[in-house]
Amino acid sequence: MLCNICQKNPATVHLTEIVNEQMTELHLCEACARQKSQQMQQQFGLSDLLAGMAGANKAEDKAEMVNLKCSNCGLSYADFKKIGRLGCSECYNAFKKQLAPLLKRIHGMTQHVGKAPVKVGKTTKKKGDIQELRAKLQLAIEMEAFEEAARLRDQIKEAEKKASQENKE
């Protein structure tokens, strides 16, 4: 298949573009894809995406965010929205309330559940499993499914017991 733009080189990049609810498939060679990528970055940067997603809903939240700054690096939340990057690792704590919904919208969750080194993988997985059980327990309590909540409580206790025994060994 040839590139849709230059009609010379084989297409190696395949894009699906949706404009005004019309879907168009583009098959591009590497050079044309690079050029298209540069055009897209000029039109729509990451900071624009984050600024749009991180917009405050309530007037009181907006007023609070005006003065919000990281105590470590001094980055304001308004500056984060402009540049789309945090200044340091402490910014995650400083802007936790605002970042949590943003991260959830982008990644689907606020906890990392990807790969981990083999040495810490088992411990991390068990902690993640316990946290997942606790979240399910909280949901069961909110839904007043008390039998399910009791079952989950017992599973959490058992998992914590196993984890503490393995830590002692």
Residue 5 lies in a domain: no
| pLDDT value at residue 56 | 46
Phi/psi-derived region of residue 3, left when phi > 0, alpha when psi is between -120 and 50, beta in every other case: beta
Judge if 63 and 92 occupy the same domain: yes
- pLDDT score recorded for residue 10: 93
147 and 124, same structural domain?
Answer: yes
Which pLDDT score is estimated for 60? 46
* Together in a domain, 52 and 103: yes
**97 in the same domain as 52:** yes
Q: What pLDDT is recorded for position 97?
A: 86
- Confidence band for 35, pLDDT divided at 50, 70 and 90: confident
**125 plus 102 within the same structural domain:** no
In a domain, 6, yes or no: no
Span 98-150, pLDDT tens digits? 888 877 777 777 776 666 666 665 666 677 788 889 989 998 898 898 999 99
Is 129 in the same domain as 102? no
Give the domain-ending residue among 68, 87, 107. 107
Do residues 159 and 126 make contact, with C-beta atoms less than 8 angstroms apart? Answer: yes
Claim to verify: residue 132 and residue 163 sit in the same structural domain: yes
pLDDT at 121: 57
**Does residue 161 sit in the same domain as residue 133?**
yes
Q: Whole-angstrom distance between the N-terminal and C-terminal Cα of the chain?
A: 60
Nearest partner of 47 among 73, 81, 72, 71, judged by Cα? 81
Is residue 129 domain-shared with residue 157, that is, in the same domain? Answer: yes
pLDDT score recorded for residue 59 = 45
Residue 143 lies in a domain: yes
Q: Which domain holds residue 37?
A: 13-43
pLDDT at residue 98 in the model: 85
Query: Residue 128 domain-assigned?
Result: yes
With CA atoms as reference, report the closest residue to 131 among 145, 152, 148, 114.
152
The pLDDT of residue 71: 92
Q: Does residue 92 form part of some domain?
A: yes
Q: Is residue 123 part of a domain?
A: yes
Do 55 and 101 fall into the same domain?
Answer: yes
Residues 53 and 97 in one domain: yes
- Say what the pLDDT of residue 78 is: 84
pLDDT digits (tens, 9 = 90+) for 42-100: 554 555 555 555 554 444 455 566 678 999 999 998 888 877 788 899 998 898 888 88
Distance CA 31, CA 136 (A): 49
pLDDT of residue 123: 62
Of 5, 26, 43, the residue at which a domain comes to its end is 43
Question: In the structure, what pLDDT confidence band is assigned to residue 8 with cuts at 50, 70 and 90?
Answer: very high
Within a domain: residue 139?
Answer: yes
Tell me how far CA of residue 63 lies from CA of 12, 47, 77, 131, in angstroms: 48, 21, 11, 34
If one counts the domains in the chain, the total is 3
Whether 94 and 129 map to the same domain: the answer is no
Could you tell me if residue 3 is inside a domain? Answer: no
